[in-house]
Amino acid sequence: MNEGVMAMNTKSRYAWAYVMIAPTLIGTLLFWSWPAVYSIYLGFLKSENFGLVNHWVGTQNYEKLFKDQEFWRNLRNTLFYMVLFVPLTLVCSTVLAVLLNAKIRGRSTYRVIYFLPQVTMPAAAAMVWVVLFAQDYGLVNYALGTHVSWLSDPRFAMYSLVIVGVWAAIGFNMLLILAGLQGIPRTLYEAAEIDGAVGFNKFRYITLPLLTPTLFFTTIVLMIGATQVFDSIYMLIGKTNVALPAVRSLVYAYYQNAFVYYDQNYGAAIVNILLLVNLVLTGVQFLFQKKWVVYD
Amino acid sequence: MTSHTLSSKRTNLVIHAVLIAISAVMIIPFLWMILTSVKTPMEATQIPVKFFPSILKWNSYSEAFKQSSFQYYYFNTAFSAFMKTLFPIIFSSMAAYAFARIQFPGRSICFFLIISVMMVPNPVFYTPQYMMMNKLGLVNTVTALWIASLISPFATFLLRQFFLGISKELEEAAILDGCNPFQIFWHIMLPLVKSALVAIVIIQLLWSWNELQWPLIINSSPEKLTLSAGLATLVSKFGTNYPVLMAGAIMAVIPMIFLFFIFQRRFIEGVAFSAHKG
């Protein structure tokens, strides 16, 4: 190929590249990047008349936020949800994945069953849990022989949310971990068996170390998801429930402030804190992923 | 030898017992949804709990349908899911190909700008997007449900990974034949990433079908709501009329569950695969 043709080619190739990325780039900048930047800006403003008049107030929204007992409680709730939800989902999913990784019959049937909640609309799933958790005529109390008000007793509401969250998340995370398990070479187990390793030892000394990268990735994804819990609180607990303060997450507080009380700036301040938390989590993931790639 | 097979048989039995017990926990909510939807409101709130209705009553379905605006919910949900699937597939694969194969000036910065929004939690976008929709006069319209999601940074990222994994030899021949990048992309590369495209179709469908918060924020009149936001209003309307609520919930989840049963393998592999590549 002669060089002139090559150069012309290159130029027209560039032009094609810009045409091909244009819709995604423009759409992203307009509808996603700009709103993200604007949200940070909103956190420093005080708006009146539905955003017609804006004053720059510096860090006032954040000062108010940090003095607000409710904010700290919401943050605590979010972290508490995360601390319960993430390990529980991780343990259940890992156990299931290990069991399903054995050569047993009906594997694909089990997979389909565990995956079912994943394709179910969270709003609809939450509705049936409301029925199951009902105090007087719910199946849960009937089965346990208890008379607990699962969704409106502040002592229990958080645990009920976690149960629903884990129920919905197991199938998907089990799949991720199963894929990780299938990446572990069989020869390692065979070698260990020759050395006399059995059952749990194989799990402890082969499976677990080699599964660590998968588990780490899964943990971070679960944590990021857990910091944004909203649907289940909205549908299971609801705005008039006395247990709401005991479970209200940052995202729920954002929703209330921005779209129920119409305080866009205070709402933005809340959600910008969430952004910070998520950036830290992503940063951690990025750093450690690099480390593992090197050691692999 | 015999004792070994015996013990492995016993282990298998224990494994199945655990797996079946958990399957029950997974399925019971669905069974209960169906059972409750065909009970009378009296039966649904009976003490002690009544498992099976004495006769199957189907009128909760028609009541849920009539008392709320299910025909609109279905249309709005399906239409936005369609828009949020078709366009991202086209735009993302085009962009992904360019990012993977053409060394144009500004490539890294453009790519970074696009994927950086993936780190931002969705609620961060909502207030500014709401203000934007307000300016465009799109609050409380079906358009507002999908317009921002015609592009997908996630799909772009995923497909780029895919294109990077394909050998360059095929293209080189086409370049010599004088094909332009779009022709190469369309005729040669796109067919090679079919499995990735299917995975993205499934994920986009699932996400947009099930999304709750944005429809709830941006739209309020019944004929502009989606199924999940519609269900939320059903709860406030019917309170403890459980059969009607369950009938509504079933009507909302049936299409996705139906698709899931037809394309089980593709669903499971698609979702697992995209999470891995992402």
Separation of alpha carbons B121 and A39, rounded Å: 12
Omega before residue B181 within 30° of 0, cis: no
- Name the one residue in this structure whose structure tokens are 């079912």: A116
Q: In angstroms, rounded to a whole number, what is the distance separating the alpha carbons of residues B199 and A198?
A: 38
- Digits of tens for pLDDT over chain B (278 positions)? 445 566 677 878 888 999 999 999 999 999 999 999 999 888 888 888 888 888 888 899 998 888 888 999 999 999 999 999 999 999 999 999 999 999 999 999 999 999 999 999 999 999 999 999 999 999 999 999 999 999 999 999 999 998 998 888 888 888 888 888 899 999 889 998 888 899 899 889 999 999 999 999 999 999 999 999 999 888 888 878 999 999 999 999 999 999 999 988 888 877 776 666 54
Question: What mean pLDDT do residues A113-141 have?
Answer: 93
Interface test with A, best of B102, B183, B267 (most A CBs within 10 A): B102
A139 touches B32 (CB < 8 A):
yes
DSSP per-residue codes, A156-173:
THHHHHHHHHHHHHHHHH
Establish if A54 touches chain B: CB-CB under 8 angstroms.
no
**Same domain, yes or no: A82 and A136:** yes
Q: Same structural domain for residues A29 and A175?
A: no
B12 and A104 in contact by Cβ < 8 A?
A: yes
Range picked from A30-34, A196-200, B168-172, B268-272 for highest mean pLDDT: A30-34
Mean pLDDT of chain A: 89
Same domain, A102 and A183: yes
| Closest CA of chain B from A165, distance in Å | 12
Same-domain check for residues A99 and A206: yes
Q: Does A28 touch chain B (CB under 8 A)?
A: yes
- Predicted-complex ipTM score: 0.90
Distance of CA A158 to the CA centre of its chain: 17
Interface with chain A: mutation pick from B3, B26, B89, highest number of A CBs within 10 Å: B26
Q: Is B66 on the interface with A (CB under 8 A)?
A: no
Tell me the two tokens of residue A230.
Answer: 């909203």
Whether A57 is in a domain gets the answer no
pLDDT band at A49 (very low <50, low <70, confident <90, very high): low
pTM attached to this predicted model: 0.91
From A24, A129, A271, residue closest to B124, measured CB to CB: A271
How far apart are the CA of A92 and the nearest CA of chain B, in angstroms? 10
**Angle at CA of residue A70, ends A127 and B117, nearest 5°:** 70
Is B32 close to A131, i.e. CB distance below 8 A?
yes
Closest CA to A73 of A235, A237, A244, A267: A244
Number of domains in chain A: 2
Same domain, A72 and A12: no
Query: Which residue has better confidence, A196 or A2?
Result: A196
Chain A residues in contact with B127 by the CB 8 A cut-off are 35, 39, 42, 258, 264, 267-268, 271
Strands A45-48 and A53-56: antiparallel
What's the confidence (pLDDT) of residue B30? 96
Number of residues written out for chain B: 278
Residues A11 and A109 in one domain: no
Helical H segments across B41-122, by residue range: 41-44, 59-67, 70-101, 107-116
CA of residue A59 relative to chain centroid, distance: 29
Instruction: State which H helix or E strand residue A218 sits in.
Output: helix A208-227
Measure the CA–CA gap between B192 and B187, rounded to whole angstroms.
9
Cβ burial of B144 (10 Å; 0-12, 13-18, 19+) is buried
CATH number at residue A115: 1.10.3720.10
Q: Which one is predicted more confidently, A251 or B10? A: A251
Same domain, A27 and A131: no
Give the structural domain span for A9: 3-42
Average confidence (pLDDT) over A217-246: 92
**Residues A16 and A149 both lie in one domain:** no
Q: Could you tell me which CATH class the domain B67-277 is placed in?
A: mainly alpha
CB count in 10 Å sphere of residue B78? 16
SS3 category, B214: helix
Is residue B67 a contact partner of residue B244, using CB atoms and an 8 Å limit?
A: yes
SS3 content of chain B, % helix, strand, coil (to 5): 80, 0, 20
The residue type of A18 is Y
From chain A residues 172-231, the ones with a CB under 8 A of any chain B CB are: 172, 175-176, 178-179, 221, 224, 227-228, 230-231
